[in-house]
Structure 1
Amino acid sequence: MDPTAQSADISSSQNSAAAMKESTLSALELVYWRDPKKSAVAFGLSLVVLVSLATFSVISVVSYLLLAFLCVSITFRIYKSVIQAVQKSDDGHPFKALMERDISVPAETFRKGVDVSLAYVNRFTRQARRLLLVEDLVDSLKLAGVMWLMTYVGAVFNGITILILADIIFFSTPLIYEKNKTQIDRYIDLIRSRVEETMAKLQDKLPGAIKRTKAE
Structure 2
Amino acid sequence: MECKQKPWKDQVVDLLYWRDIKKTGIVFGASLFLLLSLTVCSIVSVISYLALALLSVTISFRIYKGVVQAIQKSDEGHPFKAYLESDVAVSEEFVHKYSDAALGRVNCALKELRHLFLVEDLVDSLKFAVLMWILTYVGALFNGLTLLILALISVFSIPVIYERHQAQIDHYLGLVNNQIKDIVAKIQAKIPGLKRKTE
Task: Quote the Cα distance in structure 2 between the aligned partners of 1:144 and 1:48.
Answer: 35
1:1-216 → structure 2 map (5 Å cutoff): 22-208=7-193, 210-214=194-198, 216=199
Structure 1 equivalent of residue 4 of structure 2: none
Task: Quote the Cα distance in structure 2 between the aligned partners of 1:27 and 1:117.
Answer: 18
How many residues of Structure 1 are paired with residues of Structure 2 in the alignment?
193
Amino acid at match of 1:81: G
1:33/1:39 contact within 8 Å kept:
yes
Task: Quote the Cα distance in structure 1 between the aligned partners of 2:96 and 2:56.
Answer: 36
1:32/1:175 contact within 8 Å kept:
yes
CA RMSD of superposed structures (Å): 1.4
Task: Quote the Cα distance in structure 1 between the aligned partners of 2:104 and 2:147.
Answer: 26
Task: Quote the Cα distance in structure 2 between the aligned partners of 1:119 and 1:41.
Answer: 32
1:33/1:175 contact within 8 Å kept:
yes
What is the Cα deviation at residue 26 of structure 1?
3.0
What is the Cα deviation at residue 59 of structure 1?
0.7
1:138/1:199 contact within 8 Å kept:
no
Deviations 1:13-71 (A, max 9, x none): xxxxxxxxx44333222211122222112111111111111110111011001000000
What is the Cα deviation at residue 126 of structure 1?
1.8
Amino acid at match of 1:122: N
Deviations 1:57-100 (A, max 9, x none): 11101100100000000011011111111110000000000110
Structure 2 equivalent of residue 3 of structure 1: none
Task: Quote the Cα distance in structure 2 between the aligned partners of 1:118 and 1:24.
Answer: 19
SS state at 1:124 partner: helix
1:134/1:140 contact within 8 Å kept:
yes
Greater shift after overlay, 157-166 or 129-138?
Answer: 129-138
Q: Cα gap change, 1:115/1:25 in structure 2, threshold over 3 Å: closer, same or farther?
A: farther
Amino acid at match of 1:85: A
List gaps (5 residues or longer) in structure 2. Answer: 1-6
Deviations 1:159-186 (A, max 9, x none): 1011101110011111110111000001
Amino acid at match of 2:130: G
List gaps (5 residues or longer) in structure 1. Answer: 1-21
Q: Cα gap change, 1:124/1:27 in structure 2, threshold over 3 Å: closer, same or farther?
A: farther
With structure 1 as the length reference, what TM-score do the two structures score? 0.85
